[in-house]
Structure 1
């Protein structure tokens, strides 16, 4: 099997911390998920994660007005400049201090960052038209100016519409007005008057008013007005004194019952202000009258960030406490997007038999169903009252079984999305593992409290039997795909093979050297893989009950030193074993994960390590570093464990509401940093992807990961202009190959649609096979998006006719492309079938109408035409009345 798995997507986490960001067209939302960025396409209902990652959690995102440059900055001030359409990291840069605010100017020529109490304005790496200035080389970061004036952390930066001025808001209770370049007669202005830190500051659409919002719920409107006396007359001023200055003309207050304002956003074109509060409410107001339009409670905890798209129709909210992400359309009062990840760490996962769904379970008692194509959670089950420990599908894929610490095993109908059966034991137990008969008739569960295996009938829900034999807690269960045996692994250092459908339910014990952590059946039911606490992977024959092979994996899985560890990463005992293992679809490989940052892929036959995947390099997690930095070791202990919260300037930040010493659960509010670990792994049924449940979320690695920009065989003669010239000259094959080499989707589409229908078969026959996969994928995508239905189908037919034998011989190489083509054809078929079903009654009605004959000058003749309603229609003009209408003979001449 192929081993070139690449990171494809991150599911299970929709928002962690930082700011949300709409693209300039307002159709996509960018959300920081730990040290990565996920893009939610709100129009096509899809999501994808950008392939690059930071070394710490992302704190700020900014996108230039053209939408082609993305700047992301982590908690340490290290930034990555990304070509957003290509999803490529262009440059790494460090601001050498944490960043609290980041904004591009509307012109796209500058961006401003807030570093502590300073504001730095930098030149954007390229001009808005994408060309470097004056023909110079690409200069990534050139600083324009540094602004000092605030006395505390800058919290917000907003630019004016003409990019000449920008506003800044800080914790020192003030906002300031700056100019990006020296302006004649302009002096930086301070707007003071708030009693708590200023969260947001904005210009109005005409730039004549300034609005400021502070944390205590005060909204001030500032105008540039003359100084007035007590009786309202203009004051007499000296010539040297400025006649006008910025003054407060309106004061408004949100009045949310002692709730603090946590975030705010303003849409200048429509004068809409939205504010999020610490009690989970948000309010929508119209300025300058401060009319309240709407209030809604969207979370149980505080709202961390809010933003508005360019048209002012959609509001995006992020709440980091529960990991919630919402997009609200305020005019129709409806949700465009409403997603939430697991509150606690995930425990288990499983693919549906068709590979279209991934089920995850977690300690928060929730079961989530994720769609692999869109990346969204489509349903959440909350019936369990405690942590869900295991999950398993029936073979047909319409029934899901889960076990929980609340003492129940539940069966879920994934067609109607309901819990239709609950299985319990005679005594109160906490179930830790579950296994399902392939026929879906029998379900087994193991517990850490009891040493017995409980067996129920799915049809009746009755307890059929309890298998006794283990002398320790049952850690793992697995049914053979053939359905005749079940294998169980226990902490008593044995694995037992049970024949539960035989007359005597005896078990064959397999003795191991350490506690069993996980067992897995090979798809052909002839072999099992066992992971033990001493870091050994052993493979056993089911029929012979003998060990066939073994792998010492302690050195492979060990890695990652925690902040508090006294030993090096290679000597830490807690990370030297695999907690979960899974066979590949063909049974040739085993993938395994544990309490470390590595996922290992082994070849079963040779027992060799094929590949090692690093789950995360995020230093915000514990266990991602091999070596600790001695600078972080102080006299009081590791710096990462020292509580510096009590030294915060604000009382609200000094209050500590966290649980001491908790390493699982709410990962964003614990004193001890979350540890990187992999509690579950699973291969997709097709074998083209695998997913791993990690501390950061559900990581998906795929062989079908199509890069946005993958040029090859490029030279200086291949440009978009030469490609279009080849189209004009009629050299369509060369033009198509050049377009694929450039990997420009708009250019490929332009060349593709310019090829005449008569030349399609000739172009396809002469196409080199190296471009076949790209063309198949592109044609399938065009079939789904473009209206040229017959044209696209002729391309698909020509491709299959010309290259059918080659595709058949290399089915594994073109599996993903052929699936995409099949999906596109199936969609066309279903659309046409639905259209025909909708029109069948209209056609029946039209055909059932009588066809009257036209009477012309008293004689019955043939109707001249039939209109859309089936009635005869006479096309004679008024001047032709009384004239004889002849009927043409075979030669086309009129006859009497």
Structure 2
């Protein structure tokens, strides 16, 4: 199998901390997630994560007005310059200190950074198309000027619309006006008067007014006006007698709540403010008219931003990882996502590979869509941490086990909990297994040594399997449904045949506690992970060990702050806590309380590949060597509680449990540790996912970058591709379009192939482009209105390459699934359309018969009108009686 899996997306977390950014066109939202950046496409309902990663959590983001250069800075001041459309990291740079504010000028030529109490203005790195003559040059970072005047940390920086002036707000209770270059008669101005730290300061649209807002909820309006002591008409226009003065004061009346963030939209005069109690307000300036006031959270709103048109508001709350996009005019959510705010415990792919289910200690079960990257449903019925989850074979039913003592069954069509299983005594279930037929569910607990078995149909407890002498740590059903395997801390693995009359089992003896086990897809072999770092493989039929390998040194790595030994000397203390087979059964994927994920070849026992989950130094266990400069007499600096030095009372209070290593990241004494509690392979074999401390990481073989040239040379250009299409060289044009990997160009060539030549072109498609063509045709079947044209392509490709697709099933299975799903959707839509047409035709025919009946009745009444009104009416009634039989009336027709 292929092993070149690469990081493709990050799910499970949508916002950590830092500022949010809207793209210049307002369709995309950029959110910092730990040490990575996620992009949410609000129009096409998709999300993706940029491939680069910082060494620490990201603190600030900035995007130039053109939207092609992204500047991200982490907590240590290290910056990465990225080409956003192509998702390529261009340059690494260090500001040498933490950056608290970062923004590009409207002209795009400069950007300003608040570094401590100083403001640094830098030239924007030039790009090849930015030069006057279009010359190829790249000047990364050149400092323009440095401003020093504030006495505390700069919290925000705003530019004037002409990029000549900047306005900064600081914790020193003041705001200051700076000029980019020398301005005649201009003197840097200080705006003082607030009683607490100034959160933001902005220019109005005409730049005649300045608004400043402070942490205590005070809004000041400033105007450039005459000094109080100056008089006379001659002195009115003299700059020496003019100054910025407060003309209006407004206050946000929020009881015992501080203002945490604010944003101002100059074009529409909208001011949006967020508070520590989860309330946000929208006001119209300068009249300070309140438009909306809503509560979106129970905790601090960390950041708010407004898109270019002023229609959408984006809010980020790091306490529970919430990300919201609110359209204030229609009062509706454009985006509402929330990740797990506690450690994830287990993950599982749906049988079709399109969804991933995650469970965590926060008691929530979330279903994520792989294609869009969004959470589509959240279940909250469990009252404690959810430890295990498993799908039924068809994928419509999900089973979960929880520490609250219940196992629940969920209907993923109606999204409801339809069955709850409990034990006779209160137990905390930690493992789960489901019969492939969906008839029986089993669960094990760390508090008892028995395995509980329930009937899904009736919900009754069928049996309690006894035999283990220690807590049951892992359960697994064979894919063929005949065998149940259980692992325990008593150093044994037991094989059960629960459908037989006798349910005795012979134990398989191991050397240490069993942590995890998994069945091979053919049900003939199991892989067992033990506490001593060993992976052993056993034949189920004979109960004999086939082979084993030592993986403790492969997974060991990373030194924690509390470790007394180096990472190399600590080898042998790590073990795999989760293990799973690949889709074809030739490899196993394993992870544990480490920063590594290991892929082993089963037959040879060789380590095929090892992935590093995270390089984030904000997590414990990611670095191999500790920095001696961070070691003090009291121990590592990272373990010293510094909350007592915070300037605000609510920041000094520490409500965390002493030594708590799990739970909310913002409320723990010790740093979060990097760990991989669960891994899962996609049923298609093209991807796998891993639950980590930072979220749900997806590694895939499919490269989803926008520009991925394949086998390019100088002669392959869009112009030459269109020329080949005009010359009716369709196959060559199609191959050249795939080499350029331009979707509009591929679509143009694809639709330019005549219907009569589809079979011929399909027969000549090289095998290397077959998978790409199948994916493209499947996408066109979902998007394009050319129904018959797409079906002809599908028929031709499957007819010409069907045998190859069957022989190389593992390579093309994912692409064939996409085609199958597209054809199934077309079939369902055509079936519904045909049914509606049949009903419509029946209705029209019945309307015609009714009209003929009425017409015959009128003619009959008119013919007998001479006999009197009463007789005519009677004749009509008599005819109605006569024509009640359908056969006689149709005979008159």
* Alpha-carbon distance in 1 for matches of 2:848, 2:401: 67
Counterpart of 2:690?
692
Deviations 1:379-436 (A, max 9, x none): 2221211111111222222222222111222222222222222222222221111212
Counterpart of 2:640?
642
* Alpha-carbon distance in 2 for matches of 1:728, 1:184: 62
Deviations 1:825-861 (A, max 9, x none): 4444444555555566556666777799xxxxxxxxx
1:675 counterpart SS class? coil
Counterpart of 1:349?
347
Quick one: structure 1 residues 344 and 239, their matched pair in 2 at CA, closer, same or farther if it must change by over 3 Å? Answer: closer
* Alpha-carbon distance in 1 for matches of 2:786, 2:330: 34
Once the two structures are TM-superposed, the CA of residue 101 in structure 1 deviates from its matched residue by: 0.8
Higher mean C-alpha deviation, range 830-839 or range 690-699: 830-839
Once the two structures are TM-superposed, the CA of residue 756 in structure 1 deviates from its matched residue by: 6.2
* Alpha-carbon distance in 1 for matches of 2:64, 2:756: 44
Answering whether residue 253 of structure 2 is matched by residue 270 of structure 1, we say no
* Alpha-carbon distance in 2 for matches of 1:154, 1:115: 7
Answering whether residue 106 of structure 2 is matched by residue 106 of structure 1, we say yes
Quick one: structure 1 residues 726 and 112, their matched pair in 2 at CA, closer, same or farther if it must change by over 3 Å? Answer: farther
Which of 404, 424, 427 is equivalent to 1:426? 424
Once the two structures are TM-superposed, the CA of residue 678 in structure 1 deviates from its matched residue by: 0.8
* Alpha-carbon distance in 2 for matches of 1:432, 1:801: 49
Counterpart of 2:71?
71
- Equivalenced residues, count: 850
Matches within 5 A, 1:411-422: 411-422=409-420
Higher mean C-alpha deviation, range 401-410 or range 609-618: 401-410
Do the aligned partners of 1:575 and 1:596 also contact (CA within 8 Å) in 2?
A: no
Once the two structures are TM-superposed, the CA of residue 186 in structure 1 deviates from its matched residue by: 2.3
Do the aligned partners of 2:532 and 2:572 also contact (CA within 8 Å) in 1?
A: no
Answering whether residue 197 of structure 2 is matched by residue 205 of structure 1, we say no
Counterpart of 1:85?
85
1:571 counterpart SS class? coil
Counterpart of 1:214?
214
Once the two structures are TM-superposed, the CA of residue 118 in structure 1 deviates from its matched residue by: 1.4
Once the two structures are TM-superposed, the CA of residue 780 in structure 1 deviates from its matched residue by: 3.7
* Alpha-carbon distance in 2 for matches of 1:326, 1:541: 51
Once the two structures are TM-superposed, the CA of residue 503 in structure 1 deviates from its matched residue by: 2.1
Quick one: structure 1 residues 178 and 802, their matched pair in 2 at CA, closer, same or farther if it must change by over 3 Å? Answer: farther
Deviations 1:477-526 (A, max 9, x none): 11222222211111111111122222222111111111111121222222
* Alpha-carbon distance in 1 for matches of 2:817, 2:418: 34
Counterpart of 1:41?
41
Answering whether residue 680 of structure 2 is matched by residue 682 of structure 1, we say yes
| Structure 2 unmatched ranges of 5 or more | 852-893
Once the two structures are TM-superposed, the CA of residue 17 in structure 1 deviates from its matched residue by: 0.6
1:820 counterpart SS class? helix
1:812 counterpart SS class? helix
Counterpart of 1:871?
none
Quick one: structure 1 residues 188 and 766, their matched pair in 2 at CA, closer, same or farther if it must change by over 3 Å? Answer: farther
* Alpha-carbon distance in 2 for matches of 1:300, 1:239: 51
Once the two structures are TM-superposed, the CA of residue 763 in structure 1 deviates from its matched residue by: 5.5
Higher mean C-alpha deviation, range 171-180 or range 833-842: 833-842
1:777 counterpart SS class? helix
1:135 counterpart SS class? coil
Once the two structures are TM-superposed, the CA of residue 573 in structure 1 deviates from its matched residue by: 6.4
* Alpha-carbon distance in 2 for matches of 1:556, 1:132: 54
Once the two structures are TM-superposed, the CA of residue 807 in structure 1 deviates from its matched residue by: 4.4
* Alpha-carbon distance in 1 for matches of 2:761, 2:464: 67
Matches within 5 A, 1:803-882: 803=801, 806-835=804-833
Counterpart of 1:867?
none
Counterpart of 1:154?
154
Do the aligned partners of 1:448 and 1:475 also contact (CA within 8 Å) in 2?
A: yes
Quick one: structure 1 residues 787 and 674, their matched pair in 2 at CA, closer, same or farther if it must change by over 3 Å? Answer: same
Do the aligned partners of 1:409 and 1:422 also contact (CA within 8 Å) in 2?
A: yes
Once the two structures are TM-superposed, the CA of residue 818 in structure 1 deviates from its matched residue by: 3.3
Counterpart of 1:10?
10
Counterpart of 1:192?
192
Once the two structures are TM-superposed, the CA of residue 182 in structure 1 deviates from its matched residue by: 2.2
Do the aligned partners of 1:227 and 1:234 also contact (CA within 8 Å) in 2?
A: no
Quick one: structure 1 residues 427 and 798, their matched pair in 2 at CA, closer, same or farther if it must change by over 3 Å? Answer: closer
* Alpha-carbon distance in 2 for matches of 1:35, 1:488: 38
Once the two structures are TM-superposed, the CA of residue 612 in structure 1 deviates from its matched residue by: 0.9
Higher mean C-alpha deviation, range 220-229 or range 3-12: 220-229
* Alpha-carbon distance in 1 for matches of 2:760, 2:531: 62
Do the aligned partners of 2:382 and 2:402 also contact (CA within 8 Å) in 1?
A: yes
Deviations 1:49-87 (A, max 9, x none): 112111111111112222211111111111111111111
Do the aligned partners of 2:444 and 2:451 also contact (CA within 8 Å) in 1?
A: yes
Counterpart of 1:855?
none
Do the aligned partners of 2:128 and 2:135 also contact (CA within 8 Å) in 1?
A: no
Quick one: structure 1 residues 475 and 812, their matched pair in 2 at CA, closer, same or farther if it must change by over 3 Å? Answer: closer
Higher mean C-alpha deviation, range 765-774 or range 336-345: 765-774
Once the two structures are TM-superposed, the CA of residue 819 in structure 1 deviates from its matched residue by: 3.2
Quick one: structure 1 residues 575 and 80, their matched pair in 2 at CA, closer, same or farther if it must change by over 3 Å? Answer: farther
Do the aligned partners of 2:385 and 2:404 also contact (CA within 8 Å) in 1?
A: yes
Counterpart of 2:246?
248
2:818 counterpart SS class? helix
Do the aligned partners of 2:660 and 2:669 also contact (CA within 8 Å) in 1?
A: yes
Counterpart of 2:182?
182
Once the two structures are TM-superposed, the CA of residue 671 in structure 1 deviates from its matched residue by: 2.2
TM-score (norm 1): 0.89
* Alpha-carbon distance in 1 for matches of 2:236, 2:759: 86
* Alpha-carbon distance in 2 for matches of 1:169, 1:133: 39
Counterpart of 2:464?
466
Counterpart of 1:377?
375
Do the aligned partners of 1:126 and 1:132 also contact (CA within 8 Å) in 2?
A: no
1:814 counterpart SS class? helix
Matches within 5 A, 1:699-848: 699-720=697-718, 723=721, 735-749=733-747, 752=750, 767-789=765-787, 792-793=790-791, 795-796=793-794, 799-800=797-798, 803=801, 806-835=804-833
Do the aligned partners of 1:14 and 1:323 also contact (CA within 8 Å) in 2?
A: yes
Counterpart of 1:669?
667
1:770 counterpart SS class? helix
Greater share of helix: 2
Counterpart of 2:858?
none
1:210 counterpart SS class? strand
2:568 counterpart SS class? helix
Once the two structures are TM-superposed, the CA of residue 180 in structure 1 deviates from its matched residue by: 2.0
Deviations 1:195-223 (A, max 9, x none): 11111111222222221111110111122
* Alpha-carbon distance in 2 for matches of 1:727, 1:631: 65
Deviations 1:707-728 (A, max 9, x none): 2222243344545555556666
Counterpart of 2:513?
515
Do the aligned partners of 1:126 and 1:133 also contact (CA within 8 Å) in 2?
A: no
Do the aligned partners of 1:224 and 1:245 also contact (CA within 8 Å) in 2?
A: yes
Once the two structures are TM-superposed, the CA of residue 583 in structure 1 deviates from its matched residue by: 1.4
Quick one: structure 1 residues 403 and 775, their matched pair in 2 at CA, closer, same or farther if it must change by over 3 Å? Answer: closer
Quick one: structure 1 residues 788 and 570, their matched pair in 2 at CA, closer, same or farther if it must change by over 3 Å? Answer: same
* Alpha-carbon distance in 2 for matches of 1:685, 1:805: 21
* Alpha-carbon distance in 2 for matches of 1:790, 1:736: 20
Matches within 5 A, 1:126-141: 126=126, 129-130=129-130, 135-141=135-141
Higher mean C-alpha deviation, range 168-177 or range 413-422: 413-422
* Alpha-carbon distance in 2 for matches of 1:189, 1:639: 40
Once the two structures are TM-superposed, the CA of residue 773 in structure 1 deviates from its matched residue by: 3.5
Do the aligned partners of 1:107 and 1:128 also contact (CA within 8 Å) in 2?
A: no
Higher mean C-alpha deviation, range 802-811 or range 372-381: 802-811
Quick one: structure 1 residues 460 and 720, their matched pair in 2 at CA, closer, same or farther if it must change by over 3 Å? Answer: closer
Quick one: structure 1 residues 200 and 586, their matched pair in 2 at CA, closer, same or farther if it must change by over 3 Å? Answer: same
Do the aligned partners of 2:203 and 2:210 also contact (CA within 8 Å) in 1?
A: yes
* Alpha-carbon distance in 2 for matches of 1:281, 1:516: 49
* Alpha-carbon distance in 2 for matches of 1:795, 1:106: 49
Deviations 1:785-829 (A, max 9, x none): 455555555555555555555545444333333333444444444
Higher mean C-alpha deviation, range 434-443 or range 302-311: 434-443
Do the aligned partners of 1:305 and 1:318 also contact (CA within 8 Å) in 2?
A: yes
* Alpha-carbon distance in 1 for matches of 2:60, 2:763: 50
Higher mean C-alpha deviation, range 655-664 or range 186-195: 655-664
Do the aligned partners of 1:66 and 1:128 also contact (CA within 8 Å) in 2?
A: no
Once the two structures are TM-superposed, the CA of residue 298 in structure 1 deviates from its matched residue by: 0.7
Matches within 5 A, 1:432-447: 432-447=430-445
Counterpart of 1:409?
407
Answering whether residue 254 of structure 2 is matched by residue 226 of structure 1, we say no
